[in-house]
């Protein structure tokens, strides 16, 4: 599996996203925005959690190449938890958390995992595209911070990677035969808003990522944001944006230009 990846900060200079890859895997992580003014009970910031979690996942995916991805994520969360259990209140519901998306090549198969609202997008050889997104948090966007807090990592709410290893058991997972796949992408929500907000199709996004690279996807995201009035959509006007585009050596196919127009 060949991976091209890029991560770019949004409104500020601080990037709370991360993309990592190895010979047989790719992963993206999106650190969750902290609740304004909340006491987190943790001496570390979101970037610390994202970096620690990414490093742990990267290592475990190499060391345990056939392990169930939920078990991989559980072990990574446990590793991060143990790294600050002596300094932080790990039971605080406002502590740092993150979304996770993983794609792994294994013995003729591609395994995927998604926890919270990052995405794994898979295109099969027959042209069908499947976007795997854990959208449970999207159903809570109308709620206040105070209302959302008790729903984090709780039944009936939403699940994120933080200090509770049990969250890994709630991740969406699946397996696809490599021989059926043409290409794939892992994206944080700051990158797939091209589809979510701006009318692109997943096919168009994959075309741009393949032909012009992940940087072109982020570039088009920023152009779309600049044409949109602040406040038109809920959430950040410019978010951190991360793309990991994956090619499978056994299923290469001729490339064609996107059918939509992209102005550089």
- Give per-residue pLDDT as tens, 74-107: 999 999 999 999 999 888 888 899 999 999 999 9
In a domain, residue 77? The reply is: yes
**Rounded mean pLDDT of 219-246?**
84
Q: Domains in the chain: how many in total?
A: 1
Joined tokens for residue 233:
């959509």
**Rounded mean pLDDT of 6-24?**
92
Domain that holds residue 141: 2-251
In a domain, residue 261? The reply is: no
Contact between residue 142 and residue 119 where contact means Cβ atoms under 8 Å apart: no
Read off the CATH number of the domain in which 113 is found.
3.60.40.10
Residue 243 pLDDT > 50, yes or no?
Answer: yes
Please give the model's pTM, rounded to 2 decimal places. Answer: 0.91
33 vs 11: CA distance, rounded Å: 12
Contact between residue 113 and residue 173 where contact means Cβ atoms under 8 Å apart: yes
In a domain, residue 222? The reply is: yes
In a domain, residue 110? The reply is: yes
| Contacts of residue 108, Cβ cutoff 8 Å, sequence gap at least 6 | 177, 178, 179
In a domain, residue 260? The reply is: no
Q: Which of 46, 236, 22 is nearest to 141 (CA)?
A: 236
In a domain, residue 36? The reply is: yes
Express each pLDDT in 127-138 by its tens digit: 999 999 998 877
**Rounded mean pLDDT of 147-157?**
84
In a domain, residue 256? The reply is: no
In a domain, residue 257? The reply is: no
Q: Which of 221, 226, 229, 232 is nearest to 198 (CA)?
A: 221
């Amino acid at each position: 599996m060949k991976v091209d990846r890029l991560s770019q900060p949004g409104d500020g200079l601080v990037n709370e996203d991360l993309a990592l890859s190895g010979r047989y895997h790719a992963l993206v992580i999106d650190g969750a925005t902290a609740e304004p003014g909340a006491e987190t009970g943790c001496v570390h910031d979101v970037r610390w959690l994202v970096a620690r979690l990414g490093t742990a996942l990267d290592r475990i995916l190499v060391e345990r190449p056939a392990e169930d991805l939920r078990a991989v994520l559980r072990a990574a969360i446990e590793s991060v938890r143990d790294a600050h259990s002596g300094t932080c209140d790990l039971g605080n519901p406002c502590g740092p958390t993150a979304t996770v998306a993983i794609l792994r090549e294994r013995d003729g198969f591609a395994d995927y995992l998604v926890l919270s609202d990052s995405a794994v997008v898979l295109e099969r050889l027959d042209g069908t595209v499947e976007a795997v997104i854990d959208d449970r948090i999207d159903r809570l966007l109308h709620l206040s911070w105070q209302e959302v807090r008790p729903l984090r990592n709780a039944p009936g709410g939403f699940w994120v990677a933080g200090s509770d290893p049990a969250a890994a058991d709630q991740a969406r997972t699946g397996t696809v035969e490599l021989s059926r796949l043409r290409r794939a992408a892992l994206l944080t929500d700051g990158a797939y808003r091209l589809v979510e907000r701006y009318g692109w199709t997943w096919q168009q996004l994959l075309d741009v990522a393949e032909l012009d690279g992940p940087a072109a996807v982020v570039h088009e995201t920023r152009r779309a944001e600049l044409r949109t009035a602040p406040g038109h959509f809920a959430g950040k006007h410019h978010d951190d944006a991360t793309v990991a585009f994956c090619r499978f050596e056994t299923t290469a196919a001729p490339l064609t230009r996107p059918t939509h127009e992209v102005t550089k």
